[in-house]
Amino acid sequence: MFEIPDDRKYLESHEWTTTEGDAVRIGISDFAQDELGDVVFVELPAEGDELAAGEEFGVVESIKAVSDLYAPISGTVTAVNEELFDAPELLNDDPYGDGWMLELEPADESEFDDLLSPEEYREQTE
Amino acid sequence: MGLRKPPLYDVHADAGATFTEFGGWDMPVEYDSIKAEHAAVRESVGIFDVSHMSELEVSGPDATALMQRLTTNDVTALEPGDSQYSAIVNDEGVIIDDTVVYRLPDRDERVYLFIPNAGHDEEMYDRWTSFRDDWDLDATVEDVTEDWAMFAVQGPDALDSVTDAAPDAALGDLSKFQATFADVVGVECWVARTGYTGEDGFEVLCPWDDAETVWSALDATPCGLGSRDTLRLEMGYLLSGQDFDPETEPRTPYEAGIGFVVKLDTEFVGRDALERQHEAGVDETFVGFALLDRGVPRHGYDIATPDGEVIGVVTSGTMSPTLSEPIGLGYVPVEYADDETEISILVRGREKRAVIVTPPFIN
């Protein structure tokens, strides 16, 4: 069974969001990291970049696969987890904690309504 | 048509393996972690189920003549229990497949067992029997792919693992590329000091129905095709169907860097074309490279000059688990093939700096 914490929302393409003060933190799910296997490379946008909901914002690569990353909501990038560049294995070890990818200042709070609840995401992965 | 399954498919599934299609077979790609499996082989010992490899046996009075004329190496150099790496090429000298040819103990006449890659058994059976008939040779060709399971036990501790399972066989006396029939936990197996990882190791062919007995007696970390690929890539070994392929990547042994398996003083299909290329020299050659920028080179990415002019294509690439650096293989014009030559790799349209490195990438 894969961990799907109740304190966040999910995208069909396996990204998660959680609110950290004014910012929205984004990463990929436990299910996604397990499917990928050993992650060896992550490419992320820069601070200040504007993302639109559904837009490709980066790439995560394991030894066996390349997977695009999609923005769950629109917003401006306010922080990037640069530790992932030197230690991409954090995505395998702690996908909901130290393996976070970036933080956004959300442009439109109503977009959260389009995301999957933990229950809905769990159904998708089963 | 469904995928072919190795005899231990259920054993691998119970061990938590994930599977991938390869050469028409459904094979374990990884048990837990490609990196951990890779490290087991480099540091201790791993075991791979490679029962998807093809096996053909050739016997009869003209077995030697048939093998000699359909492979590029010199099979007459083989004593019983010897083996050699070789190429199977067409009339133009283009590699159809690479293979290891074993000479088995004689049965009145010489007997050969050769191992083409996964999914090539039917094609090679047809090739061998049709040339045999055209040349009117007296040889028996059998596709024994599903008579033999095959396991590769690889790593610095491989000798300990196989010796524990076959204590009476003196397998440590085998030189590289030598093989013998040996009793492995009561099962007669063909055990060869060969492999595809760059480490010491053995390949064990055992009867299909005894696969579980032998597999469970060999104490080593189970490894899937994922780490098999990263291990061979660090050595610069060719992968059939990817680093060469008669349809998508037609290459001669000289271009592919395995000219040492071509013996022009023997008679074989494709010899004249290869002799011409040997005299004229090749225009393009197989190289390794290391990426200096962040990224992962992959099959099909373009190789370019530092100015962005496309000069070749990546045939294999990965993040080296041993080095934690991105490495790759591919073909470039010979003038770009020297060590340290600066090139670039186009990763999703973006240029990444790289330099030519002659494999192996590790010591």
Q: What is the pLDDT of residues A98-111, one digit of tens each?
A: 999 999 999 999 99
Rounded to an integer, the average pLDDT of B99-109 is: 96
Whether A76 is in a domain gets the answer: yes
Per-domain boundaries in chain B: 9-53+146-235, 56-143, 283-356
Mean pLDDT of chain B: 97
- How does DSSP assign B161-222, residue by residue? HHHHH-TTS-GGGPPTTBEEEEEETTEEEEEES--SSSSSEEEEEEEGGGHHHHHHHS-SEE
Range of the domain at A83: 9-107
Nearest of B211, B312, B231, B302 to residue B5 by alpha carbon: B211
8 Å CB contact of A37 and B30: yes
Rounded to an integer, the average pLDDT of B318-338 is: 98
B138-158 tens-digit pLDDT: 999 999 999 999 999 999 999
**Which pair of structure tokens corresponds to residue B37?**
């499996």
Residue contacts between A and B (CB atoms, under 8 Å): 35
Q: How far is CA B148 from CA A86, B96, B191, in A?
A: 44, 23, 12
Residue A1: the pLDDT is 78
Is-contact A124 A49, C-beta < 8 A?
Answer: no
8 Å CB contact of B295 and A40: no
Rounded to an integer, the average pLDDT of A33-57 is: 96
Whether A73 is in a domain gets the answer: yes
Residue A89: the pLDDT is 96
**Which chain A positions have a beta carbon within 8 Å of B296's beta carbon?**
40-41, 61, 66
Name every residue whose Cβ is closer than 8 Å to that of residue B313 and which is 6 or more positions away in sequence.
Answer: B300, B301, B302, B303, B330, B331
Whether A15 is in a domain gets the answer: yes
**Which chain B positions have a beta carbon within 8 Å of A61's beta carbon?**
296, 319
What is the rounded CA–CA span in Å between residue B177 and residue B85?
A: 9
8 Å CB contact of B35 and A38: yes
**Which chain A positions have a beta carbon within 8 Å of B34's beta carbon?**
37-38, 62-64
**Which chain A positions have a beta carbon within 8 Å of B326's beta carbon?**
41
Whether A123 is in a domain gets the answer: no
Helices and strands of chain B, counted as H and E runs: 8, 19
Whether A114 is in a domain gets the answer: no
Mean pLDDT of chain A: 95
Is-contact A25 A7, C-beta < 8 A?
Answer: no
Residue B1: the pLDDT is 64
Whether pLDDT at B96 is above 90: yes
Percent above pLDDT 90 for chain B: 98
Whether A17 is in a domain gets the answer: yes
Percent above pLDDT 70 for chain A: 100
Rg (CA), chain B: 20
Percent above pLDDT 70 for chain B: 100
The listed CATH number (2.40.30.110, 3.40.50.460, 3.20.20.70, 2.60.40.10) that belongs to domain B283-356 = 2.40.30.110
> Quick one: CATH architecture of B56-143?
2-Layer Sandwich (3.30)
- Mapped onto helix, strand or coil, the DSSP state of residue B144 is coil
Whether pLDDT at B336 is above 70: yes
B197-253 tens-digit pLDDT: 999 999 999 999 999 999 999 999 999 999 999 999 999 999 999 999 999 999 999
The listed CATH number (3.90.580.10, 3.40.640.10, 3.40.109.10, 3.30.1360.120) that belongs to domain B9-53+146-235 = 3.30.1360.120
A10-21 tens-digit pLDDT: 999 999 999 988
8 Å CB contact of A63 and B318: yes
Nearest CA in chain B to A43: B295
What is the rounded CA–CA span in Å between residue A42 and residue A69?
A: 10
User: Chain A: nearest CA to B329, how far in angstroms?
Assistant: 15
User: Chain A: nearest CA to B63, how far in angstroms?
Assistant: 41
Residue A20: the pLDDT is 84
Chain B contact for A52 (CB, 8 A cutoff): no
Whether A68 is in a domain gets the answer: yes
Whether A1 is in a domain gets the answer: no
Q: Whole-angstrom distance between the N-terminal and C-terminal Cα of chain A?
A: 9
Rounded to two decimals, the ipTM of the complex is 0.89
List the CATH number of the domain containing A79: 2.40.50.100
Structure pTM?
0.95
Q: How many domains does chain A fold into?
A: 1
